[in-house]
């Protein structure tokens, strides 16, 4: 048995079960019992180092359990740090954490993690993940350790000291040509997503805005006086619009304040919604009490909110049927809207307003490759480019 002194604390290191155990006396607790801090290791020097680290943590107020790992910190963040985020974001974070973070860098004790470990982990992912995904997994680790710091589980956040490397180039968003767009609209007629595709492509709403659209936010211009919800006014009118005031983001807010906007509907989009409303009413009667009345325009066969993954799968069936492959995503309907509006002569300032961008500069930065020089305005351009819908 060897006596040691670490700062003001006395202790001992002794052999135990094929290794060594170190104990530091911390005095007595309120119950009168002796308090001791213990650490184990294969060698005396290893135990001494661990005791010194434990004492340093003790004096700094950190109280990391002996076997508290990086994986434990990440699991703790998944349990408490995702509150208030929308369902899609939570699902994405959980998937990334359990595939790329916990299995690959979750085993070390949190207090033992070093910046070099984080560098090596990220470098090992550069050949398999895009730069954007690398930023996300790095962010998960940083946030998890930040939460552990807030709970006095660790002193430093070494993940904050590391720069995210570049990964694989992500696939850039594309835009449908006019011919491809016409083919997609035709192929969508036999799909439950028909009206969803028509509205998304012909108004440029974001996918999260389309999935949150309510029937009381689909309005008709009545008696040349006011907009009224179609659920009260019906579809026997000449002009229609949608209030893009909600999204499936946390709290139901749109992406930005400028994203709250009212868009007049092109005639064929309004016609698609009229048919969709009739089919939905029939479906509601068919399923009876199973129906969940959430007031959503686009929903499941039982009235529940649409899952983003299911929308992607259904949309890819449409693009496959349209003969343009299965690699397209619903968000590219918005990119296609920008491209087609630009080709149709709409100024970038008007496109920015329709898309709910904070300024034309944002539109130019995000959709630069799809913008062309221009001249005129919104639903009129769509009606001029696509013409009236042929009966399904």
For 348-387, the DSSP string reads HHHHHHHHT-SSHHHHHHHHGGG-------HHHHHHHHH-
Alpha carbons 264 and 239: distance in angstroms, whole number: 8
Specify whether 335 is catalytic: no
- The catalytic residue among 146, 255, 260, 284 is 255
User: What are the tokens at 208?
Assistant: 């999260």
- The catalytic residue among 39, 249, 334, 335 is 334
Handedness of CA 269, 272, 278, 283 (dihedral sign): negative
Q: Which of 72, 69, 36, 42 is nearest to 54 (CA)?
A: 36
Alpha carbons 217 and 370: distance in angstroms, whole number: 30
Strands 261-264 and 226-229, by their bridges, are unpaired
Specify whether 206 is catalytic: yes
User: What are the tokens at 49?
Assistant: 């180092």
- The catalytic residue among 138, 142, 143, 206 is 206
- The catalytic residue among 217, 249, 335, 357 is 357
Query: Is there a contact between 168 and 302 (Cβ–Cβ < 8 Å)?
Result: no
| 125 phi-psi bin (left φ>0, alpha ψ -120 to 50, beta other) | alpha
How many residues are given for the chain?
392
For 173-231, the DSSP string reads P----HHHHHHHHHHHTTSTTHHHHHHHHHH---HHHHTT-BGGGEEEEETTTEEEEHH
Strands 226-229 and 218-222, by their bridges, are antiparallel
Name the DSSP letter for residue 236. Answer: -
Active-site residue set:
206, 255, 334, 357, 367
């Amino acid at each position: 048995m060897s006596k040691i002194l670490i700062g003001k604390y006395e202790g001992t290191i002794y052999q135990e079960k094929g290794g060594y155990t170190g104990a530091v006396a911390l005095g007595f607790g309120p119950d009168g019992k002796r308090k001791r801090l213990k650490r184990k290791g294969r060698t005396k020097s290893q135990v001494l180092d661990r005791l010194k680290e434990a004492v340093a943590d003790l004096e700094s107020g950190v109280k990391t359990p002996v076997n508290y790992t990086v994986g434990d910190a990440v699991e703790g963040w998944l349990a408490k740090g995702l509150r208030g985020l929308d369902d899609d974001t939570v699902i994405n974070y959980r998937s990334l954490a359990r595939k790329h973070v916990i299995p690959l860098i979750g085993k070390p004790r949190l207090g033992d993690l070093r910046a070099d470990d984080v560098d090596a982990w990220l470098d090992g992912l550069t050949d398999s993940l895009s730069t954007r995904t690398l930023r996300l997994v790095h962010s998960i680790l940083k946030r998890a350790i930040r939460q552990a710091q807030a709970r006095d589980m660790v002193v430093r956040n070494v993940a904050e000291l590391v720069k995210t490397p570049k990964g694989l180039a992500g696939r850039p968003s594309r835009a449908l040509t006019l011919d491809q767009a016409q083919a997609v609209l035709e192929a969508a007629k036999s799909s439950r997503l028909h009206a969803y595709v028509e509205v998304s492509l012909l108004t440029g709403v974001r996918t999260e805005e389309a999935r949150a659209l309510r029937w009381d936010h689909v309005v008709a211009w009545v008696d040349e006086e006011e907009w009224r919800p179609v659920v009260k006014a019906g579809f026997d009118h000449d002009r229609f619009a949608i209030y893009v005031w909600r999204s499936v983001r946390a709290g139901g807010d749109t992406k930005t304040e400028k994203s709250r906007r009212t868009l007049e509907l092109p005639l064929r989009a309004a016609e698609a919604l009229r048919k969709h409303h009739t089919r939905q009413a029939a479906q509601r009667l068919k399923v009876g009490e199973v129906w969940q009345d959430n007031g959503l325009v686009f929903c499941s066969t039982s009235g529940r909110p649409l899952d983003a993954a299911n929308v992607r799968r259904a949309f890819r069936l449409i693009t496959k049927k349209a003969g343009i492959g299965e690699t397209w995503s619903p968000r590219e309907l918005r990119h296609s809207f920008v491209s087609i509006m630009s080709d149709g002569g709409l100024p970038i300032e008007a496109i920015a307003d329709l898309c709910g961008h904070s300024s034309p500069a944002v539109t130019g930065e995000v959709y630069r490759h799809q913008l062309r020089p221009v001249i005129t305005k919104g639903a009129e351009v769509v009606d001029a480019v696509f013409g009236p819908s042929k009966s399904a």
